[in-house]
Structure 1
Amino acid sequence: MYFTHADEVWAEHPTLRALALTVGGLTSARTDEGQLAELAERIDRRQNQMAEAEMPEIAAWREAFSRMGLKPTQYRCASEALLRRYRKDKSLPRFHPVVDYLNHVSMAYAIPIAVFDTARIGAGITVRPATGAESYETFQGETENPGPGEIVFGDPDGHAHSRRWTFRQSARSAVSKESEAALIVVEAHHVTASGDLAEMETELKTGLAALGVTLGSSTLVSESHRLFEF
């Protein structure tokens, strides 16, 4: 299987950097409340220091959304949406031990993290402009077709696993209690993205192992190293 970004994405977003990794044994995952509490403290400290729009990681994603012709206050990257919700309620709904952990890491770093059930993404994912023929499954049970040119996580079977890049993930590949393995993707555009993603790689490996899952392979993605095969 594979994960990659299309040439068109690199041409429009040359500062993009990404981290991709895989995990297995998800049915054995357990919640680590101490881990979540430590991450929550980090999130609180950061939110006390600045608003989401002032965070460099989110400001860079807002610029990327503007380049795509989207209003960044209407369509927010996943990490900004999580942080804004957390600032209001100081909690998030629980979905799955791995998803809950990744949501907290995403907020702590203010960087979007996507996680896909690998049994539901065909041969792999390419982040690319949509043709307009892809099908996207909402969490309300509806099917949508992304507009031509919209950036999606697309598989070779015609499924879009996101809308507007990191705005909203598809229900089709969401991790559930039945999921066995997952692909995790972290993407950033800010100046220190390469160093921050390397730090996140270490943190994620340690944190995921503590949940009782099996770590697979991982790689840092850049324009000169685009393809992750697993």
Structure 2
Amino acid sequence: MHFEHSARLRAAYPDLVAGVVLATGITATADVAQRTAAYTAVARERLAGGAESGFPQIQAWRRAYAAMGLRPTRYRCAAEALLRRLRLDDELPRLHPLVDLCNAVSAAYAIPVAVLDLDRVDGDLVVRPAHGDEEYLSFAGETEHPDPGEVTFVDTAGRAHARRWTNRQSGWSAVREGTSSVLIVAEALHPGAEADVTRLVAALVAELAEGWSAPTRAAVLTDTAPRFDVTTAGEASGQAVSPGTRWR
């Protein structure tokens, strides 16, 4: 199995940088509340200086959504939606220790972070424009089909694991109580994205080691190193990403 962005998508968004982390041994009983709170506090501090719409990371995603023909204030990237909720409610949702942690990290860095249950992904996973016949399962249990050309995460079975790229994940591969293996994906388009994504990935690897003692593999993907080969649990290595480092 491998993960990558299609050549067509990378050609349209040459500044795209993606961080990926494979982790195994995930449980729903880990106590990462303090670490989650620490990242949430960072996000609150950033918001104290101005609304999320002014962050360069969010502005880059707004430009991308406008280029896709989507109204950015209607369809927000996941990081913007989290920051907006934090600004209005002063809290982030509580769902699962890993999801809560990743949401807080996403808000702190203002970068969308997706967490997928690998046991619910069939074969390769490619971020690409949809054909329109892919099947997306909403959290309400309804089957939808992405619009033709809409960017989504598609596996070999034709399941769409996202709507409107970083706007909404699928209920099919959402992390649940029994989830043990995950693929975490962070995507950014802003100037300086590679350095920020590298730091985000390193932070996640450290948190997974601390909170779950989880074996991990990680990479920062760019147009020159676009593919991540997903290993089995027994092959996961536990190496963190340092600035400027990539694995394929």
TM-score for both structures, normalised by structure 2? 0.90
- CA distance, structure 2, for counterparts of residue 139 and residue 181 of structure 1: 20
TM-score for both structures, normalised by structure 1? 0.97
Q: Could you say which residue in structure 2 is the equivalent of 1:205? A: 205
For residues 185-204 of structure 1, the aligned pairs below 5 Å read 185-204=185-204
Shift of residue 108, structure 1, vs aligned partner: 0.2
Q: Could you say which residue in structure 2 is the equivalent of 1:219? A: 219
Partner AA of 1:194 in structure 2:
E
Task: List per-residue Cα deviations over 1:141-193 (Å, max 9, x = no partner).
Answer: 10001111110000010100000000000000001011110000000000010
| 1:26 match: secondary structure | coil
- CA distance, structure 1, for counterparts of residue 90 and residue 160 of structure 2: 31
Q: Could you say which residue in structure 2 is the equivalent of 1:137? A: 137
Q: Could you say which residue in structure 2 is the equivalent of 1:10? A: 10
Q: Could you say which residue in structure 1 is the equivalent of 2:61? A: 61
Shift of residue 90, structure 1, vs aligned partner: 1.2
8 Å contact 2:37–2:104 — kept in the other structure? no
- CA distance, structure 2, for counterparts of residue 188 and residue 212 of structure 1: 26
For residues 43-122 of structure 1, the aligned pairs below 5 Å read 43-122=43-122
| 1:35 match: secondary structure | helix
Partner AA of 2:167 in structure 1:
F
Task: List per-residue Cα deviations over 1:205-230 (Å, max 9, x = no partner).
Answer: 11121211413211110001111001
- Identity over aligned pairs, percent: 43
| 1:27 match: secondary structure | coil
| 1:111 match: secondary structure | coil
- CA distance, structure 1, for counterparts of residue 27 and residue 201 of structure 2: 22
Q: Which moved more, 1:122-131 or 1:33-42?
A: 33-42
- CA distance, structure 2, for counterparts of residue 192 and residue 206 of structure 1: 22
Unaligned runs of 5+ in 1: none
For residues 21-36 of structure 1, the aligned pairs below 5 Å read 21-27=21-27, 29-36=29-36
8 Å contact 1:29–1:98 — kept in the other structure? no
- CA distance, structure 1, for counterparts of residue 173 and residue 32 of structure 2: 24
Q: Where in structure 1 do 4 or more consecutive aligned residues deviate above 4 Å?
A: none
8 Å contact 1:28–1:212 — kept in the other structure? no
Partner AA of 1:141 in structure 2:
G
Shift of residue 124, structure 1, vs aligned partner: 2.6
Shift of residue 27, structure 1, vs aligned partner: 2.1
State the structure with bigger RCO (CA 8 A, min sep 6), 1 or 2: 1
Task: List per-residue Cα deviations over 1:5-44 (Å, max 9, x = no partner).
Answer: 0011011100100101111111265122221221122111
Cα 1:214–1:65 change in 2 (3 A) is: same
8 Å contact 1:55–1:110 — kept in the other structure? yes
| 2:219 match: secondary structure | strand
Unaligned runs of 5+ in 2: 231-248
